[in-house]
């Protein structure tokens, strides 16, 4: 029997091993692996990482199939432990040992390697490349279920990356492959098509296809599948500022996904549910979901940058937390990531710069966000809206008209439009079983998209982008002194408030404050004062630290314009309070604006 040694330091062992010849090292590695299998039997799989290491280091002396098996097991264990880099290295090594003739095993590895890559920053294109190759292999093998699984993963990845047209094409391929029989992955593909139609601006068509997905999930009796379908419904409502409905669907879907272990889908919707709850004033519930999801996101490597700073921003004025969130997005952008959390994070970064008085840096952040954000659909134009609003604060008189220009947002970028050609949308609707009425609705809607005003249309579902344009335009027009145009928007602001939302997206401006601005622009002093007083009360109830001085500043401006007995003294008191609050929060430009108004008293 050979002597056995223990070493006081790993470097000593490595030094001695390096002195061995390569063949002898390989034989020793093989002996270690064989001994482990003899000792542990089937339990050796629990030590897959060690087994894979020794067998791989044994080189040609080890059976390639055996080595590949342990490498895949080690990769699976690493993937489940959120060690994504380690999982990728194991899958890469296993792939090099798989014979090209074993197409099924190679397709399985490509799918798993894609799962590891999607959680690693900067590897989106490599992820999709692996999955495309895996899907093609499964199709050639006639394995529809496995192909559907890959199409599902690809579709979700493309939608998350704002590549709507590609996502739609993948969902259509999946539907064509799976046929019309109810099945798990057909249900998932239906939800994908419905979501693309929805975010493209086709409200009724998207809603109809998503309902078919929910109905199928209920027929199949799969709780996790139903949870995923309801997450799609939540995103549909969120895309049109229907936050009460979004919160209801999202909470129900999240509960089902939590019970079924569908954690990736849970995280994909968690940020939107947090926002929806916050927008309707249910801050504590939103904060709780955000905290839970943040822990899961770190463990699973999910790219979602959760808005966990929102409640702290409102209640403590923690602009630094928003800036940190935005800087994380900026780092990802510099690594080449181009997904929804990146462009929204950059928009938040711009708002943080704006509040801190770094207005040129704010413009730069909004411009960077606009390069990544979708150029079409319900999420289009968000960064451009805040870019133009910032310009309005900087004295640019062309900013407000650019917001309202039909067919575009001026130099800032295109207005919301369809995510793909109407032909592609119709193909999606037909493949999803949407009837002639739905198809005609898509055709009619697509004809009007490029011509109509970017403002919301009264009495109809309107995109998040349209409501955001409205809420920014009121403020920009008031800054420009264009009272008649700002006053015309007052009825639309009231309609926005009826949706149940309390805030403007991103910067959480109270809609009551905007209603006060619009009413004051039309000389409707009683209503304006009522809105401002409600906004003051609500900002206190919600502990909305940043809105408290903002409402005071705009209320004071209204009082100075009205100039009734006692108004100037009231305005003076409001401005003194606002200046103190701005200073405490750290908003120097806003201090200057309030001081300038105070000099007019």
Residue extents of the structural domains in the chain: 17-142, 510-598
pLDDT score of 431: 63
Q: What is the pLDDT of residue 298?
A: 76
Q: Looking at residue 102, what DSSP letter applies?
A: -
Tokens matching residue 402: 């650019």
What CA–CA distance (Å, rounded) separates 409 from 418?
15
How far apart, in whole angstroms, are the C-alpha atoms of residue 356 and residue 551? 18
Higher pLDDT, 538 or 169: 538
The answer to whether residues 341 and 329 touch, using CB atoms and an 8 Å cutoff, is: yes
- For the chain, give the longest Cα–Cα distance: 105
Q: How many CB atoms lie within 10 A of CB 141?
A: 13
The three-class DSSP label of residue 393 is: helix
Higher per-residue confidence, 431 vs 287:
287
- Spatial separation of the C-alpha atoms in residues 149 and 135, rounded to whole Å: 9
Mean pLDDT across the stretch 263-283?
A: 91
Rounded distance between C-alpha atoms, residue 49 and residue 67, angstroms: 11
> Do 79 and 112 contact (CB within 8 A), yes or no?
yes
Burial 261-270 (b: 16+ CB within 10 A, else e): ebbbbbbbbb
End-to-end CA distance of the chain: 98
Q: From the CB of residue 586, how many other CB atoms can be counted at a distance below 10 Å?
A: 14
Sequence-distant (6+) residues with CB within 8 A of 520 are: 478, 528, 557, 558, 561, 562
**Local confidence band at 407 (pLDDT 50, 70, 90 cut-offs):** low
Question: Token digits for 526?
Answer: 């009683």
| Rg, Å, the chain Cα set | 28
The mean pLDDT of 282-286, rounded to a whole number, is 90
Residue 102 has pLDDT above 60, yes or no: yes
For residue range 143-163, what is the model confidence (pLDDT) as tens digits?
A: 999 999 999 999 888 887 778
pLDDT-based confidence at 415, cuts 50/70/90?
very low
Give the tens place of pLDDT for each residue, 538-547: 999 999 999 9
Q: Which residue has the higher pLDDT, 247 or 20?
A: 247
Question: pLDDT digits over 340-371, tens only?
Answer: 888 899 999 999 999 999 999 999 999 999 98
Gap between the Cα atoms of 468 and 201, Å rounded: 15
- 389's CB contacts (< 8 A; 6+ apart) are 399, 403, 472, 475, 476
Check pLDDT > 80 for residue 282: yes
Closest Cα to residue 89, out of 80, 81, 79? Answer: 79
pLDDT of residue 310: 79
Which pLDDT score is estimated for 374? Answer: 82
Distance in angstroms (rounded) separating the CA atoms of residues 505 and 82: 33
Predicted local distance difference test score (pLDDT) of residue 213: 96
Nearest to 462 by CA among 472, 450, 451, 454: 454
CATH architecture of 17-142: Alpha Horseshoe (1.25)
- Given pLDDT bands bounded at 50, 70 and 90, which one contains residue 451? low
**Could you report the per-residue pLDDT of 106-129, keeping only the tens digit for each?**
999 999 999 999 888 678 789 999
Determine whether 260 is exposed, middle or buried from the number of CB atoms within 10 Å of its CB (0-12, 13-18, 19+): middle
Which residues, 6 or more positions from 281, have their beta carbon under 8 angstroms from its beta carbon?
Answer: 502, 542
pTM: 0.86
Reduced to 3 states (helix: H, G, I; strand: E, B; else coil), residue 554 is helix
DSSP string, 145-191: HHHHHHHHHHHHHHHHTT-HHHHHHHHHHHHHHH-SS--HHHHHHHH
Rounded to the nearest 5°, which phi and psi values hold at 510? -65, 135
Residue 428 pLDDT:
57
d(CA 255, CA 261): 10
> What confidence score (pLDDT) does residue 438 get?
60
Question: CA distances (Å), 466 to each of 161, 195, 367, 391, 473, in order?
Answer: 22, 18, 19, 19, 11
Q: What is the mean pLDDT of the chain?
A: 86
User: Cα(472)–Cα(375) distance, rounded to whole angstroms?
Assistant: 19
pLDDT of residue 80: 86
Q: Are 182 and 216 in contact (CB under 8 A)?
A: yes
CA distances from 87 to 78, 113, 254 (A): 5, 8, 28
* Continuous segment of H or E residues that includes residue 391: helix 382-393
Statement: residue 169 has pLDDT above 90:
no
pLDDT at 223 over 80: yes
pLDDT: which is higher, 229 or 263:
229
Quote the percentage of the chain above a pLDDT of 70: 87
207/212 Cα distance (integer angstroms) = 9
Q: Residues 167-171: contacts with CB within 8 Å, 24+ apart?
A: 167/192, 167/196, 168/192, 168/193, 168/196, 168/419, 168/420, 168/424, 168/425, 168/428, 169/424, 171/196, 171/428
| Run of H or E residues at 244 | helix 243-260
Instruction: Note every long-range contact of 277-281, with CB atoms under 8 Å and residues 24 or more positions apart, other chains counting.
Output: 277/243, 277/247, 278/307, 278/310, 278/311, 278/314, 278/503, 278/508, 279/243, 279/500, 279/501, 279/502, 279/503, 279/505, 280/243, 280/244, 280/247, 280/500, 280/501, 280/502, 281/502, 281/542
The structure tokens 């999803």 sit at 432
Q: Per mean pLDDT, which of 68-77, 322-331, 490-499 is the most reliable?
A: 490-499
Is the predicted pLDDT of residue 4 greater than 60, yes or no? no
Q: pLDDT tens digits for 581-596? A: 999 999 999 999 999 9
- The pLDDT, as a whole number, for residue 409 is 52
- The string of pLDDT tens digits covering residues 299-314 is 777 766 566 677 777 7
pLDDT at 51: 79
Q: pLDDT-based confidence at 63, cuts 50/70/90?
A: confident
pLDDT per position as a tens digit, 470-529: 999 999 999 999 999 999 999 999 999 999 999 999 999 999 999 999 999 999 999 999
Higher pLDDT, 440 or 483: 483
pLDDT(423) > 80: no
pLDDT higher than threshold 90 for residue 468: yes
Task: pLDDT band for 1, please (50, 70, 90 cuts).
Answer: very low
Tokens encoding 528: 């304006």
Write down the residue that tokens 């409707």 correspond to: 524
Provide the Cα torsion 124, 125, 128, 133; round to 10°. Answer: -150
Q: What is the mean pLDDT of residues 45-51?
A: 79
């Amino acid at each position: 029997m050979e002597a056995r040694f223990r070493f006081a330091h790993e470097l000593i062992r490595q030094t001695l091993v390096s002195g061995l010849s390569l063949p002898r090292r390989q034989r020793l590695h093989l002996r270690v692996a064989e001994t482990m299998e003899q000792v542990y039997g089937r339990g050796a799989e629990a030590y897959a990482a060690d087994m894979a290491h020794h067998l791989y280091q044994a080189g040609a002396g080890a059976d390639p199939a055996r080595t590949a098996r342990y490498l895949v097991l080690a990769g699976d264990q690493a993937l489940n432990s959120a060690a994504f880099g380690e999982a990728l290295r194991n899958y890469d090594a296993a792939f090099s040992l798989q014979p090209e003739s074993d197409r099924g095993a190679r397709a399985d590895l490509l799918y798993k390697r894609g799962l590891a890559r999607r959680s690693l920053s900067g590897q989106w294109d490599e992820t999709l490349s692996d999955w495309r190759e895996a899907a093609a292999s499964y199709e050639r093998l006639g394995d529809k279920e496995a192909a559907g699984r890959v199409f599902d993963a690809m579709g979700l990845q493309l939608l998350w990356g704002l590549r709507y047209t590609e996502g739609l094409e993948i969902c259509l391929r999946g539907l064509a492959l799976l046929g019309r029989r109810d099945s798990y992955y057909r249900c998932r593909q239906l939800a994908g098509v419905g979501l693309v139609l929805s975010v493209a601006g086709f409200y009724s068509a998207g809603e109809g296809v998503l309902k078919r997905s929910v109905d199928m999930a209920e027929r199949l009796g799969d709780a996790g599948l139903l949870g995923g379908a309801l997450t799609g419904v939540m995103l549909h409502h969120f895309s049109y500022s229907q936050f009460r409905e979004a919160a209801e669907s999202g909470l129900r879907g999240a509960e089902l996904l939590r019970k079924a272990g569908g954690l990736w889908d849970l995280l994909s919707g968690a940020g939107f549910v947090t926002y929806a709850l916050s927008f309707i004033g249910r801050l504590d519930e939103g904060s709780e979901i955000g905290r839970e999801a943040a822990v899961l996101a770190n463990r699973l490597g999910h790219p979602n940058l959760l808005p966990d700073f929102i409640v702290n921003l409102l209640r403590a004025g923690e602009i630094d937390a928003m800036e940190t969130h935005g800087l994380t997005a900026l780092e990802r952008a510099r690594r080449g990531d181009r997904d929804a959390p990146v462009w929204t994070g950059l928009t938040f970064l711009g708002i943080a710069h704006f509040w801190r008085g770094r207005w040129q840096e704010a413009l730069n952040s909004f411009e960077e966000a606009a390069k990544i954000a979708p150029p079409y659909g319900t999420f289009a134009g968000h960064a451009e809206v805040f870019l133009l609003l910032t310009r309005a604060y900087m004295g640019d008189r062309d900013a407000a008209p650019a917001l309202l220009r039909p067919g575009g947002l001026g130099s800032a970028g295109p207005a919301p439009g369809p995510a793909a050609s109407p032909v592609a949308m119709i193909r999606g609707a037909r493949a999803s079983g949407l009837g002639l009425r739905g198809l005609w609705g898509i055709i009619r809607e697509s004809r009007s998209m490029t011509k109509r005003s970017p403002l919301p249309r009264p009495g109809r579902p309107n995109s998040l982008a349209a409501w955001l344009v409205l809420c920014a335009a009121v403020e920009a027009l008031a800054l420009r002194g264009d009272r008649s145009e700002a006053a015309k928007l007052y009825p639309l602001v009231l309609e926005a408030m009826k949706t149940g939302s309390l805030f403007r997206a991103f910067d959480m401006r109270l809609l009551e404050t905007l209603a006060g601005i619009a009413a004051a622009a039309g000389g409707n002093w009683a209503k304006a004062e009522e809105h401002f007083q409600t906004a003051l009360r609500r900002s206190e109830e919600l502990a909305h630290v940043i809105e408290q001085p903002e409402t005071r500043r705009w209320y004071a401006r209204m009082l100075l314009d009205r100039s009734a007995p006692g108004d100037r003294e009231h305005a003076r008191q409001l401005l003194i309070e606002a200046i103190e609050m701005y200073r405490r929060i750290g908003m120097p430009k806003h201090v200057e604006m309030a001081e300038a108004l105070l000099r007019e008293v």
